[in-house]
Structures are given as C-alpha cells and as structure tokens.
Amino acid sequence: MKFNYYPETDTLYIDLADKPSVDSQEIVPGVVLDFDEDGRLVGIDIDRATHLIDLSHVDLNALPLTSLTMATQSATPVP
C-alpha cells in the first residue's frame, strides 16, 4: 500500500494494489474509487485532501508490517 500526496493539486492517492485501474467510481464529490478488471478495489483518489483530511500525521495500529518506507519532499526530516 502506498500513500502519494501531490501538493500541486492537493490530491491524495492511496494505492492499494499493484494492479492497473480499469474502472472508477466517484462515491462522494472529490473521492474516487479505482477498480481492477476483476472489480477489486485498487486505489482511492481524494481531491482537496487537506480540506478533508489531517495529513500532518499518520497512526499505524497493529498492522502486520514487514517494511515501512517514508519519504518527504521538505528539507526537514519527519520525527
């Protein structure tokens, strides 16, 4: 799973699977679900993300992680 934030468009894309999207459905204004050819959810696209979500922190609770990668666009490291 990957979280990609695009500040130039204030869009958050949550990539749930490494599969191409073949169908999309806007479930509420500005929130689009992407589906693969089998109808499985592969991504979530959120427009105007900073108006809908607090992107300043992420809490991960009891996830069975084997890897965690963080990248930042700013020169200031995330604590």
pTM of the full predicted structure?
0.81
Burial of 49 (0-12, 13-18, 19+ CB in 10 A): buried
In angstroms, the CA 49 to CA 30 distance is 9
pLDDT category, 67, cuts 50, 70, 90?
A: confident
SS3 label, residue 23: strand
Residue 24 sits at φ, ψ, to 5 deg, of -135, 150
The two tokens of residue 26 are: 């806007």
pLDDT tens for each residue of 42-61: 999 999 999 999 988 888 88
